[in-house]
Chain A
Amino acid sequence: MSSPEEKTLILKSSDNEEFLVKESVAVQCITIKNLVEDGCDLDAIPLLNVDSKNLAWIIEFMEKYADSTSTDAEKKDFDTEFVKKPFNDVLGLILAANYLNFPALMDVMCDACANEMKLWSVEQVREKFHIQNDYTEEEEKAVRAENFWAFE
């Protein structure tokens, strides 16, 4: 039950979908908090770098974390389920959390990402992060030699 003073914000995703969120919940994102404190009087806060898919997830996370009745153990269980997403979506959420400056979400998603990367091969790192091998043949040989022990 929200008190009559409780303000609701409208957050608009990059693909123009609108989401209603209580102000007290939304200000976990420091970007939004700053906008509100600076007296932003727009009808809807446009989040140009966050699409509706990510915004829906972010709101789900925000609401769980703003809930004072949920225990630490419950939050942990929630996190465990929340991060079970395809790796690309994990990266997408990290970017969104960074843009919105949402420390709790950043923490959970970065840990999940690092966890996912355990025991990855060099090829897997390149593939999953969509990065090119920008070493020349000689350079690659040299850097492999330097880190030879990781390939034993």
Chain B
Amino acid sequence: MEDLPPPLLLEILSRLGDSEDLARCRVASKTLNSIARDIRSINLQCSYDRYTKSRSPHTRSSITPFKEIFIKLISNLEIVESVSMGVEKPLRYGAYDDTEDEESDLYLSDETFSMEWLPKVCRELKSISISDFWVQSCWRRSDVLSVISSHCLNLSDLDVKNAWLSVDGLNPMPNLTSLTLEFIRLDDEDLNKINESFPSLQDLNLIGVGGLREPRIHLMHLKTCQCIVSNAPNSLAIIAPNLVKLKLVCVKPKLLLIETPLLSDLHLSIETAGNFKVKNLHDLRKLHLESAGLRNLLGTFPFGKTVRNLTVVSTRWEVPVGISKSTFELLLNVFPNVSSLTLTPGAWSEFETYPGLGGLESRHQMKELKIITAYLTVNDIEMTISTVFSILENCPKLSDMALLIHRDVVSNVTNNLISRCMAHCSRIRWKWGLWKEETKDAWITDGI
């Protein structure tokens, strides 16, 4: 068994997620110790074990404070390009019971603490990731962004989680290309300071960011964006001429404005849209639409002609009034060129009950459909089968049908469904699977 040469050992050691694991490797042999000196990243996570030991009177005195370890690691390395510090589950979210924590030993976004290590490594530092301890950070407003922006001129990636951040004294950071703020209370209610200070951002992730009132993302170089906000913001605007991929999850903003002419991949989840203004989505190829007010939303969506790949999630079943079109017909009206369609359980159930596939217009509109993926609940097997058969009849180009059946469906019903479908049409490539809420989808590769 040939031993690994140093360059390969370095490659492996630099992928070790934790500096603690690396420390033990350093003790294992002189060779590993000297190789480890070339690693330019620090990754220190406070485990639950370490936390409990630091709180228990018996072990308290024999545990080194987390911040002290971090400072030591900083002093060991010549060049530091990437820093990642955080707390492990279950210390991460507010779920942790110990709400009476007045200490600051794990208050990682503390600007005073950051002044102890940042100035030493800021020259080469490219990436910072801080996953703070919510219990200690949520009630303390931090100026760490100001410290980072005045020292780390070469920083390209910044990721902060579970903190309360102020934007006072935030200096421009023209080299920052990626910013992630997750479970953050941000004192920049319209995102003005963010837009101003990070003009070169290409990737922006605002996930569970509170404190926003009329957020407006206006970034010229932005390519990918994730914006997951609560129902607090009054309005939401995204103006990004180079944006290609957007995931937007909001509740009911009074005004939603999207100006992203190059967008090709959109994931939009919205309960109801008050005033929904979308400009120029001429390149939209992939769309995931999720809403309780799907029919209304479809009515205001003028840019469906280029969409090839469509996923529809209906969170509230709507009964079409009188002779109005079924949701499926509406979908095909708005998205006539879809070749791959995914219908999640609510959307499929709606379709089963109101298929509306009789008209000639519908037949014409389904000509591009090649792949259908659907999540079935099979409340009435005959209804499901007749819906499947009618799709097969109306979609001449259909080549693949991937159907996932709810795990709670009795197995002989599932088997019956599968065998009848496969017997009915052999020109199609069938793919069968099982689904359940909160569980990963499972595909049965060879039928049953």
Contact = CB atoms under 8 A, between A and B. Distances in A.
A147 B1 contact: no
Q: Across the A-B interface, give the 4 residue pairs with the lowest CB-CB distance, nearest first.
A: A150-B23, A114-B15, A125-B28, A147-B23
A135 B69 contact: no
B73 to A, nearest CB: 9
Given A126-B28, A140-B27, A88 B1 contact: yes
A91 B27 contact: no
A132 B29 contact: yes
Interface stretch (A20-28, A30-38, A57-65, A116-124): A116-124
* Interface SS majority for chain A: helix
B258 to A, nearest CB: 26
A148 B64 contact: yes
Interface string B1-28: 1111000100111011110110111111
Contacts of B17: 114-115, 118
B20 A110 contact: no
A95 interface: yes
Contact of B16 (A117, A133, A152): A117
6 contacts: A91-B1, A94-B8, A98-B8, A113-B12, A118-B21, A152-B50
A139 to B, nearest CB: 7
Interface residues of B, number: 32
A134 B20 CA distance: 21
A111 interface: yes
Interface string A139-152: 11001100111111
Contacts of A42: none
Contact of A147 (B8, B18, B26, B53): B26
B53 A125 contact: no
Nearest to B3: A130
B314 to A, nearest CB: 23
A131 interface: yes
A45 interface: no
A125 B15 contact: no
Contacts of A135: 29-30
B12 A133 contact: no
Contacts of A143: 26-27, 33
Contacts, number: 90
A117 B21 CA distance: 8
Given A91-B4, A94-B8, A130-B3, A152 B63 contact: yes
B57 to A, nearest CB: 16
Contacts of A133: 28-29
A34 B148 CA distance: 45
Contacts of B18: 118
Interface in B24-57: 24-33, 50, 53
Given A91-B4, A120-B21, 11 more contacts: A94-B8, A95-B4, A111-B15, A122-B28, A125-B24, A129-B4, A131-B28, A131-B32, A149-B23, A149-B64, A152-B62
Interface in B149-169: none
B7 to A, nearest CB: 8
A117 B33 CA distance: 16
B420 interface: no
B427 interface: no
B72 interface: yes
A36 to B, nearest CB: 25
Interface in A80-133: 88, 91-92, 94-95, 98, 106, 110-111, 113-115, 117-122, 125-126, 129-133
A115 B21 CA distance: 10
B4 A106 contact: no
B24 to A, nearest CB: 5
A13 B275 CA distance: 65
A140 B29 CA distance: 9
A149 B28 contact: no
Given A119-B21, A152-B50, A152-B62, A110 B12 contact: yes
Nearest to A129: B4
Contact of B24 (A94, A113, A120): A120
Contacts of A117: 12, 16, 21, 25
A94 B30 contact: no
A110 B15 CA distance: 7
B4 to A, nearest CB: 6
A95 B4 CA distance: 7
Contacts of B53: 152
A36 B411 CA distance: 53
Contacts of A111: 15
B24 A121 contact: yes
